[in-house]
Amino acid sequence: MTVEPDTTWAIPDGAGRHRGIGVVGAGGIVSGAHLPAYRQAGLRVVAIFDIDQARAQEVAQAFAIERVAGSVAELLETPGVEIVDIAVPAWAQPAIVSQVAAAGRHMLCQKPLALDYPTALAEVETAEAAGVLLAVNQQMRWDAGVAASRGLIRAGALGTVEEVWLRVSVVTPWHMWPWLAASPRLDISWHSIHYHDAMRSLLGDPVRVTSVHGRSPQQGEVQGETATTTVMEFDGGARAIVTVNHYDTHGTPISELRILGTDGMLEGTIGVNFDYPTGRPDTLALYREGRKVRDYPLDTRWIPDAFLGPMADLMDAIEMGRAPVTSGRDNLRTIALVEAIYRSAAEHRSVTLDEITGEA
């Protein structure tokens, strides 16, 4: 191939951006990612609710949200709320999903959709029975480096993909989220779920996964796994390796993505991990036969910029009468992948997704 194909990583404008949003939850991810991304895109947030009403008032004032609801029910009754952005921990999500579905509102759920596959399936079926769309906030699919890589793969720039490496070795400030530090499941459920969902968006569903988990002597009272390595095998022989360590206190941070194909290789960085939560833009370059042939300028950050992706896509899906890219039905495969990874680590063997879904 003599001409290097262009690709786009911009979030499509789409349709339906006039629809009003109600937000359930006013935590740090809402004020630091959801709302900045929505404001920059000109989306309308008409109401917000949090059980901490003082916090809700503070966030509403910062983002010029007119209505602070006193309950989920009150938020659902607010004129103009057509989509509910549910930004609460997974264990609190099912009850809210039921309320939102009963009110006939479409919804964007936070990841993970649930802490186990049966609960996630029940949430999806609740929305489907009510005739509303449920999308999941797996926003890394719209991260510039991931989106550009996906476009290049689909354009044939790499030939046949043989292997993907995603390596993150950093120091993660778990003190920012005490409830996460207390979780018996940590990296895979709450952090690396983004990477594994991104692998699905690049290569499809793996046929089997093998995973090894560990803990750092430095993590103290942090309960869950903080070092994980997962190998995914795909139809056709492609492999993806995701390896993460949250307690690399001695070296410079590593946050890199490498995609090797028969005709070329992509190499880049995931910028947000270098100095979280400030972050920096991703980088991405195309190589052929040991020579860099092109840099792709990526001027956005995973956080907050990519957070527009799932919401804008949901809005367009409502208008166009299609399923969202990160629909609840699709996300069941990501939840099954997470469960398969944990089962593999616990039982020291390779596991298929169908073992989790019961489709084997």
316: domain CATH number? 3.40.50.720
- Residue 353: inside a domain, yes or no? no
3-state secondary structure of 284: strand
- Residue 360: inside a domain, yes or no? no
> Position of tokens 């290789």?
265
Same structural domain, 171 and 240: yes
Cβ-based neighbours of 229, under 8 Å, separated by 6 or more: 211, 212, 241, 242, 243, 244
- Residue 160: inside a domain, yes or no? yes
- Residue 47: inside a domain, yes or no? yes
- Residue 72: inside a domain, yes or no? yes
- Residue 271: inside a domain, yes or no? yes
267: domain CATH number? 3.30.360.10
Same structural domain, 343 and 196: yes
Would the pLDDT of 3 be above 80?
Answer: no
pTM above 0.85?
yes
Same structural domain, 77 and 198: no
- Residue 357: inside a domain, yes or no? no
Same structural domain, 79 and 204: no
Same structural domain, 172 and 61: no
Same structural domain, 152 and 288: yes
Same structural domain, 159 and 96: no
How confident is the model over 91-95, as a mean pLDDT?
97
Same structural domain, 157 and 294: yes
Q: Which of 187-191, 248-252, 317-321 has the lowest mean pLDDT?
A: 248-252
Number of domains making up the chain: 2
Cβ-based neighbours of 134, under 8 Å, separated by 6 or more: 97, 101, 106, 107, 109, 123, 124, 127, 128, 327, 328
- Residue 184: inside a domain, yes or no? yes
* Strands lying side by side in the sheet with 161-169: 208-214, 227-233, 239-245, 161-169, 254-261, 265-269, 283-288, 291-295
Same structural domain, 116 and 161: no
Same structural domain, 179 and 293: yes
Q: Encode pLDDT of 130-172 as tens digits.
A: 999 999 999 999 999 999 999 999 999 999 999 999 999 999 9
* Containing structural domain, residue 267: 140-301+335-347
Same structural domain, 167 and 244: yes
Residue 30: both structure tokens together: 């809402």
Q: How far apart are CA 164 and CA 196, in angstroms?
A: 11
The pLDDT mean for the chain works out to 95
Residues 169 and 253: beta-carbon distance below 8 Å: yes
> Position of tokens 């993150």?
168
Q: Encode pLDDT of 342-359 as tens digits.
A: 999 999 999 999 999 986
Same structural domain, 314 and 270: no
